[in-house]
């Protein structure tokens, strides 16, 4: 019979604890805060994406302007060279587009300016006493 009362008391304690938790907690408060934080971070992410897109668009426009300026300068150079040299002399024309430069390694040896032997720079020299 004692076991029955212990079981009833346990179930009643669990029910009372659940009821107290139910009434003391604010329903939906955590989810509202999380939703607001989510919306805020999504807005910040969208702003960063838009800023990056604007920056890349401006950089693209600047590169187009530079490219057009170089093309125009090349055409003017070629036209003026032809006018000055005339038809008799063949002059080298500037390319209309910049060539792709490749790295050229001339020599992999050490430069000739390395000193041989100790000079006392790293280790102190002996002082005369």
The answer to whether residues 78 and 93 touch, using CB atoms and an 8 Å cutoff, is: yes
Across residues 69-98, what is the average pLDDT?
75
The CA radius of gyration of the chain, in Å to the nearest whole number, is 41
Dig out the tokens for 19 from the structure.
Answer: 């009821």
Where on the phi/psi map is residue 120: left (φ > 0), alpha (ψ -120 to 50), or beta? left
58 part of a folded domain: yes
Q: For residue 96, is it within any domain?
A: no
Is there a domain that residue 11 lies in?
A: no
**Which tokens hold the place of 94?**
């500037």
Asked if 85 and 91 touch (Cβ cutoff 8 Å), the reply is: yes
Domain with 66 in it: 30-80
Please give the tally of structural domains in the chain.
1
* Mean pLDDT score, 103-117: 55
* Within a domain: 93: no
| 109 domain residue, yes or no | no
Lowest-confidence region among 14-18, 46-50, 112-116: 112-116
| Higher-pLDDT residue of 71, 26 | 71
- Average per-residue pLDDT for the chain: 78
Query: How many Å apart are CA 96 and CA 100, to the nearest integer?
Result: 13
Task: Please check whether residue 94 is in contact with residue 70, taking contact to mean a CB–CB distance below 8 angstroms.
Answer: no
| Per-residue pLDDT, 32 | 81
Predicted local distance difference test score (pLDDT) of residue 114: 58
Q: Is residue 91 part of a domain?
A: no
In a domain, 76, yes or no: yes
pLDDT tens-digit profile of 13-24?
Answer: 999 998 888 888
Specify the pLDDT at position 109: 58
């Amino acid at each position: 019979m004692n076991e029955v009362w212990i079981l009833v008391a346990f179930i009643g304690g669990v029910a009372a604890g659940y009821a107290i938790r139910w009434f003391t907690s604010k329903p939906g408060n955590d989810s509202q805060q999380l939703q607001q934080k989510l919306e805020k971070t999504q807005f910040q992410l969208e702003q960063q994406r838009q800023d990056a897109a604007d920056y890349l668009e401006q950089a693209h426009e600047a590169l187009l302007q530079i490219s057009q300026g170089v093309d125009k300068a090349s055409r003017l150079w070629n036209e003026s060279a032809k006018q000055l040299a005339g038809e008799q002399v063949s002059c080298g024309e500037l390319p209309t587009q910049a060539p792709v430069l490749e790295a050229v390694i001339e020599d992999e040896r050490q430069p000739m300016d390395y000193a041989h032997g100790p000079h006392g720079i790293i280790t102190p020299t002996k002082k005369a006493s």
